[in-house]
Structure 1
């Protein structure tokens, strides 16, 4: 289990706990392990209630702010946790999951991960398969946020074409400044602006400078680049501190965020209202718009999508062939 802190101007804060299970659990026990991770998150939240409170909506975040509580939100990092099942996706929503990262560091049978864009590698699917596009539609119908960190450029493209709701990159940086396949190319940033989504900048040195060393100024450069290409409404913070090995000098943890904000103001490009958007209001706006799309689906009486992924994986697949 890892966490990503969404800082919405004090005292309003939210933390997304990422229920992550390794890629080698794919076609094995990924669903069970994911549910066990979610169980830990919920028990941990209950242990520290009321200071920590479970939030499953944008309204919950606003309410927790008024009550001076810290929001505990649940995400799932890696589409392999679905085992190719729309029913599992719906069940994850029902137990509180509010974003899904479409892939982790492995392809799923319906989506390519960022490794597909590495030199010498080839995409397995060319982005999203037809079933993968149905996953996006069902996430829109449910009101679950689509997260495109970790996915290939082809998957980014297809998801942005299909999704009726804004998407996020929960922990990615700018490809133009560091050509890691985990970062977002300018072409995608421009499409993201049309989608009204948000890139939440990752502070891992390998994604800022493509090396083991970086500084606060490097993080500022990525934030400013994304703002310049996509817009002030499309950038946020997704440091990923507990999942990274090398952090920027001067930006070692969330206690150093005041230094980041001071540096941004010092560039002359940012004011207090801009910083509020960066710190969390952009994400909160995305969450609200995802819920609005969900409500539109409900008003139109759109039923759950029922497609079955074909062909079903056979190698190392610990499932029975006949379900009923």
Structure 2
């Protein structure tokens, strides 16, 4: 039965994964020097990757995991805010593009829904860029536009810190207080400009009020690139039911993440626990609003059965094994939902005839 499940999945699924922090690990471990990075080797046997609990990704395991598309995170830490965040972000985007170029037999740069499909037809992993944290734009819509021109196709509005225009999920913690009560007027302008450009609005890491303000301000579907269900784990990084229902009305997407503390609110979790989050969201708002955003290389505790990027088939096998999922539904979760949302964002952009603002 297990063999049959895997054969069925391998023949029908080729997933699009929405959040991987490998680029920051390349900066940490080899200072962005790609000559010292052997992406086409099994990094479980290559130091320093083999010694790190934060390392889960290489080309061999991506292929085994049937990853057909990957958003690489151009993340820079909150400590860079008001200092050199823009420069560091540009360096991370440069790194992602150089990585794609170096391994062009396996990776193909993509910046649209159609280009994801084109890469798939060439048997390459469509490689896209997401910026993780609104501090990366330095409070400038001009920088936002430049990032779009460089290929960035989603931006997470906040990371673990507030920006001058948006509250992060950290304000939900005991002893922390909102600075803005959600999005400021400039924050809403950021969302509208992202709509105009065709850049997806990512609400992972945002406070609940920021989530709601962004959903109200956005003309296009929004997403959560790596979050799970608050009802099953009451972490501030997860999405409450009322926001999930608003997300369905918006036409958006929540990409369920794998970090144990967001899955079970503790150090241990299993693939079955991740499947429970996916099924819960499906039952609440429908199968059209779910995807996968594992956060590999950005977490140090992974569920048993989802230890690295090679293990995605185990998640879909777990769902199929339950008897409550069809292969068609699983294909939506694996990537078709993300393609649909991405295409809708592009369609909204095409319908917005207003010129960009001067800020």
With normalisation by structure 2, the TM-score equals 0.81
For residues 223 and 133 of structure 1, what CA distance do their matches in structure 2 show? 30
Aligned residue for 2:225, secondary structure, equals strand
Select 1:2's aligned residue among 18, 21, 40. Answer: 21
User: Partner residue of 2:172?
Assistant: 117
Select 2:344's aligned residue among 289, 295, 298. Answer: 289
For residues 58 and 281 of structure 1, what CA distance do their matches in structure 2 show? 10
Cα shift at 1:267 = 1.8
User: Partner residue of 2:318?
Assistant: 263
User: Partner residue of 1:310?
Assistant: none
Select 2:111's aligned residue among 56, 64, 81. Answer: 56
User: Partner residue of 2:188?
Assistant: 133
User: Partner residue of 2:288?
Assistant: 233
For residues 231 and 205 of structure 1, what CA distance do their matches in structure 2 show? 24
For residues 36-185 of structure 1, what are the structure 2 equivalents within 5 Å?
36-185=91-240
Cα shift at 1:12 = 7.1
Cα shift at 1:217 = 1.3
Select 1:207's aligned residue among 253, 262, 265. Answer: 262
For residues 175 and 50 of structure 1, what CA distance do their matches in structure 2 show? 40
Q: Specify whether residues 63 and 11 from structure 1 end up closer, same or farther in structure 2 by C-alpha distance, changes over 3 A only.
A: farther
Does the 8 A contact of 1:127 with 1:154 survive in 2?
yes
Does the 8 A contact of 2:108 with 2:125 survive in 1?
yes
Cα shift at 1:3 = 4.6
Of residues 85-94 and 216-225 in structure 1, the stretch that sits farther from structure 2 once superposed is 216-225
User: Partner residue of 2:272?
Assistant: 217
Does the 8 A contact of 1:202 with 1:237 survive in 2?
yes
Cα shift at 1:241 = 1.4
Q: With CA pairs under 8 Å and 6+ residues apart, which has the higher RCO, 1 or 2? A: 2
Does the 8 A contact of 1:160 with 1:191 survive in 2?
yes
Does the 8 A contact of 2:66 with 2:310 survive in 1?
no
Q: Does 1:30 align with 2:85?
A: yes
Does the 8 A contact of 1:172 with 1:207 survive in 2?
yes
Q: Specify whether residues 181 and 91 from structure 1 end up closer, same or farther in structure 2 by C-alpha distance, changes over 3 A only.
A: same
User: Partner residue of 1:304?
Assistant: 356
Does the 8 A contact of 2:196 with 2:348 survive in 1?
yes
Does the 8 A contact of 1:148 with 1:156 survive in 2?
yes
Select 2:245's aligned residue among 178, 190, 194. Answer: 190
User: Partner residue of 1:316?
Assistant: none
Aligned residue for 1:243, secondary structure, equals coil
- Deviation readout 1:256-294 (Å, 9 max, x if unpaired): 222211211122221000000011111111100000001
Question: How many residues are aligned here?
Answer: 302
Structure 1's unaligned 5+ residue stretches are: 308-324
For residues 128 and 243 of structure 1, what CA distance do their matches in structure 2 show? 26
Does the 8 A contact of 1:58 with 1:287 survive in 2?
yes
- Deviation readout 1:37-69 (Å, 9 max, x if unpaired): 111111111111142111011110111111111
After TM superposition, where is structure 1 displaced by more than 6 Å over at least 4 residues in a row? none
For residues 64 and 198 of structure 1, what CA distance do their matches in structure 2 show? 22
Aligned residue for 1:282, secondary structure, equals helix
Structure 2's unaligned 5+ residue stretches are: 1-19, 24-56
Does the 8 A contact of 2:66 with 2:312 survive in 1?
no
